[in-house]
Amino acid sequence: MSSGQSLAVTRIATASHAPLALHKEAASDRAPCCRCPHCNVTALARASPFVVDSSELTTAPPFASLPFPSSPLPAKPQSPTLPIPLIGISLAALLHAPQSTPPLSAQEHLLATLPSPLIFPPCLPYPHYTFADHTATRHQLTFADHTAPHKQLSPPPSLSLSTLPDTMAPTKKAVHFGGGNIGRGFVAEFLHNSGYEVVFVDVMDAIINSLNDAKSYTVTEIGADGQRSFTIDNYRAINSKYNMPEVVNEIATAEVVTCAVGPNILKFVAEPVAKAIEARSSDLPPLAVIACENMINATTAWKGHIETYIKDKLNAETLNTIEKRARYANSAIDRIVPQQDEGAGLNVKIEKFYEWCVEQKPFENGGNKPAIEGIHYVDDLEPYIERKLFTVNTSHATAAYYGHQAKIPYIHEVLTDQKLHDTVRAAVKETAALIVKKHGISQDEQDKYVETIISRISNPTLKDNVERVGRAPLRKLSRKERFIGPAAQLAEMDLPVDALLGAAEQAFRFQNVEGDEESVELAKILKEKSAEDAASHITGLDKDHPLYERVVAVVKKVQGA
CA distances, 314 to each of 162, 278, 279 (Å): 43, 8, 11
Q: Strand pairing of 235-239 and 375-378?
A: unpaired
Cβ contact 197:116 at 8 Å: no
CA distance 284 to 71: 11
Q: 150 Cβ partners below 8 Å, 6+ apart?
A: 144
3-state secondary structure (DSSP) of residue 348 = strand
Residue type at position 183: G
CA distance 434 to 22: 63
The C-alpha torsion from 340 through 342 and 344 to 346, rounded to 10°, is: 70
Q: 283 Cβ partners below 8 Å, 6+ apart?
A: 70, 71, 127, 128
Burial code of 35-47, b = ≥16 C-beta within 10 A, e = fewer?
Answer: ebbbbebbbbbbb
CB-facing half-sphere around the CA of 7: CA atoms within 13 A: 22
What are the residue numbers of the active site? 388
Q: 375 Cβ partners below 8 Å, 6+ apart?
A: 190, 331, 356, 357, 358
Left, alpha or beta for 215 (phi > 0: left; psi -120 to 50: alpha)? left
Helix (H) or strand (E) holding 412: helix 411-416
CA distance 560 to 537: 18
CA distance 344 to 341: 5
Name the DSSP letter for residue 82: E
Name the DSSP letter for residue 383: H
CA distance 354 to 339: 17
